[in-house]
Amino acid sequence: MATQMTFQSRGSGVKPPEKGSFPLDHDGECKAFMTKYMRCLRGNMKENTKCRQESMDYLNCRMEKNLMLKEDWKKLGYSDMVKDQDSTSTTSSNKAE
């Protein structure tokens, strides 16, 4: 409750993540995708909107390498990206579950 917020109390601010914790990528399997994402961010003035595709790639890599539970893209908030892909691409997307 924000009205009772003091400097010490962080009761409403800190929440556990919805899907829990990412398993650590000890072997750096998805490091390449991460670098691509970082490069995109730096090139686009750190705007997340322009780098959605790269972040999707990274999460896809994680899902394939079993470092993340496979989820529908819509549930991860990429419904706009999925719609674009369905309308533009003719070949079946390799981002299926």
Which residues would be at the binding site for other proteins (CB under 8 A)?
1-2, 5, 10-22, 24-26, 28, 30-31, 34, 37-38, 41-42, 45-49, 52, 55, 58-59, 62, 68, 74-80
CB-based burial label for 42 (10 Å; 0-12, 13-18, 19+): exposed
The separation between CA 61 and the C-alpha centre of its own chain, rounded to angstroms, equals 11
Q: Which is nearer to other proteins, 12 or 66 (CB)?
A: 12
CB of 61 to other proteins, least distance (A): 11
The nearest distance, CB 87 to other proteins, in angstroms, is: 18
The distance of closest approach from Cβ of residue 90 to other proteins in the complex, given in angstroms and rounded to an integer, is 25
What is the DSSP code (8-state) at residue 51?
G
Query: Distance from first CA to last CA of the chain, Å, rounded?
Result: 39
Rounded distance between C-alpha atoms, residue 58 and residue 67, angstroms: 11
Identify which of residues 12 and 93 has a Cβ nearer to other proteins in the complex.
12
